[in-house]
Amino acid sequence: MSSKGSSRRRFLKEGVALTGLAAAGARPGMGQVETSQVVKNTRPYGERSRFVTSARIPDDPTSRSPAILTPIQDSAGIITPSGLHFIAEHYDGVDIDPQQHRLLIHGMVDRPLIFTMDDLKRLPAVSRVHFLECPGNTSLRRSKNTESIQQTHGRTSCSEWTGVLLSVLLRRAGVQKGASWIVAESADRARYIKSIPLDKAMDDILLAYYQNGEPVRPEQGFPLRLFVPGWEAISSVKWLRRIEVVDQPHMARWETITHGSIRGDGKARWFEFEMGPKSVITRPSLGQRLPSRGYYEITGLAWSGGGGIRRVEVSTDGGRTWKDAQIHEPVYRMAHTRFSLDWTWDGTEQVIQSRCTDERGDVQPTLEQLAEVWGVDMEYWKTTTNNVLKFNPIFRWRVTRDGSVQNALFS
Ligand SMILES: Nc1nc2c(c(=O)[nH]1)N[C@H]1C(S)=C(S)[C@@H](COP(=O)(O)O)O[C@H]1N2
Ligand SMILES: [Mo]
């Protein structure tokens, strides 16, 4: 962003007043208490400061297995701490002893194989930073009736995943001619099953056993999960125990009834796979309140199943004009990407929004463009009871005169 330098300087000048004010009543080190060696010794696995309270929340406390949402509004950089990764599962999870765990690869292969976790870890490992996003993230229903960005956008997280490429195992097993799909199955009670085209399996699918430098968390599928970069998170089978190579999809309930997206004409879309380009301003965002007029750094995240984020534009005037936001390094393919823009709020009502473009040139659509794709009119979004999944329109927040931030998507 070319204007970055000068607006920084302007901010620093304006900022003098702010800093001076705070310093009057403060002294360095106020509020500090010494911790003892005893505290340090009893924490072989560290905890965050007791003053840090950012937390996941359930989307529906009355549900037996509610989704647990990432506090995306508190995020900085691009990595979601493992303890704040969103959780979505049908029924409950499962507690697996990694010594006992086995992975079976069979079906249309020359040599069916069984791997222990130690076998898998002996193979060459790769580490990749990728987002995971439930297709229900920002679904139409959730985009309307929520009070915080955590509720609208909390079904996506981004981690460094380490494991072995599925293609390595499939080559060892020897995929037979005519095979075109794999079916992955979980070890939990749900017997979660997902069909995935073989091409993707031979490309970049990971069998992940590490997440952010330590074993995958139990909620994320310990000791082994499938990780399918850029695709609907429903493909990333947790607690993975079996992969069958086949010549047609399984049509399991989790890929048909549960995760189909109902169209305007009542039919459902199945097997859509890739997540479209999406971005959102996380600060200021729905549920927050700006304490006073003046300088703010608008910041947010952008991601796309289509590859790397190349451009993010931000509008602070209801979409009349757009400015290129600064894209922060590092930028990984199919990963959350941090962007920011300097902004001075003058105390009047403003609508702020972001849109992103990925490496293929795909641009995050407007509501109008999405309506066209869906073959519906703009009224449909307001009136339908269908919960449209993979809903990725440009999101708008309204900063009102009292500083509170509201959802302006449909107004
Ligand atoms: N075994 C199993 N894998 C699963 C699921 C599940 O219920 N069971 N849920 C899927 C869905 S709907 C999503 S959105 C992602 C969520 O992954 P996470 O809980 O690690 O965030 O896991 C997918 N993999
Ligand atoms: Mo999901």
Q: What is the pLDDT of residues 108-137, one digit of tens each?
A: 999 999 999 999 999 999 999 999 999 999
pLDDT at 135: 93
Q: Is the Cβ atom of 134 under 6 angstroms away from ligand 1?
A: yes
Give the phi and the psi of residue 171 in degrees, each rounded to 5: -65, -40
Question: Average per-residue pLDDT in the chain?
Answer: 91
Name the β-bridge partners of 193.
185
pLDDT at 146: 86
Q: Does 232 have pLDDT greater than 70?
A: yes
pTM of the model: 0.93
Residue 163 tokens read as 């494991």
CA gap 329, 358 in Å, rounded: 15
User: Which of 56, 86, 89 should be mutated for ligand 1, with most atoms under 8 A from CB?
Assistant: 89
247, 251, 252, 253: CA torsion to nearest 10: 170
Higher-pLDDT residue of 297 and 28 is 297
Q: Categorize the per-residue pLDDT at 41 as very low, low, confident or very high, splitting at 50, 70 and 90.
A: confident
Q: Is the Cβ atom of 188 under 6 angstroms away from ligand 1?
A: yes
pLDDT digits (tens, 9 = 90+) for 64-111: 778 999 999 999 999 999 999 999 988 778 999 999 999 999 999 999
Name the residue with tokens 């002294």. 27
Give the phi and the psi of residue 63 in degrees, each rounded to 5: -75, 150
Q: Does 260 have pLDDT greater than 90?
A: no
CA gap 208, 129 in Å, rounded: 12
Q: Does 191 have pLDDT greater than 80?
A: yes
pLDDT at 6: 53
Residue 267 tokens read as 């039919």
- Written as one string, the DSSP assignment of 175-241 is BPTT--EEEEEESSTT--EEEEEHHHHHHT-EEEEEETTEEPPGGGTTT-EEE-TTB-GGGS-SSEE
Name the β-bridge partners of 64.
none
Nearest CA owner, ligand 1 atom 19: 87
Q: Is the Cβ atom of 88 under 6 angstroms away from ligand 1?
A: yes
Share of the chain above pLDDT 70, in %: 92
Taking a C-beta distance cutoff of 8 angstroms, is the pair 277, 392 a contact?
yes
CA gap 270, 208 in Å, rounded: 26
Q: Is the Cβ atom of 236 under 6 angstroms away from ligand 1?
A: yes
Higher-pLDDT residue of 348 and 259 is 348
Q: Categorize the per-residue pLDDT at 17 as very low, low, confident or very high, splitting at 50, 70 and 90.
A: very low
Residue 18 host element (H or E): helix 4-24
Nearest CA owner, ligand 1 atom 20: 220
CA gap 238, 358 in Å, rounded: 28
Q: Is the Cβ atom of 186 under 6 angstroms away from ligand 1?
A: yes
What mean pLDDT do residues 398-406 have? 98
CA gap 263, 317 in Å, rounded: 33
* Residue among 88, 273, 62 nearest 188 (CA): 88
For residue 314, how many C-alpha atoms fall within 13 Å in the half-sphere facing its CB? 26
pLDDT digits (tens, 9 = 90+) for 262-318: 777 777 777 789 999 999 999 999 999 999 999 999 999 999 999 999 999 999 999
pLDDT at 5: 47
Q: Which of 59-63, 208-212, 262-266 has the highest mean pLDDT?
A: 208-212
Q: Does 366 have pLDDT greater than 90?
A: yes
CA gap 325, 354 in Å, rounded: 9
Atom of ligand 1 nearest to the CA of 254: 12
pLDDT at 11: 52
Q: Categorize the per-residue pLDDT at 352 as very low, low, confident or very high, splitting at 50, 70 and 90.
A: very high
Name the β-bridge partners of 312.
356
Q: Categorize the per-residue pLDDT at 18 as very low, low, confident or very high, splitting at 50, 70 and 90.
A: low
pLDDT digits (tens, 9 = 90+) for 42-53: 788 999 999 999
pLDDT at 10: 54
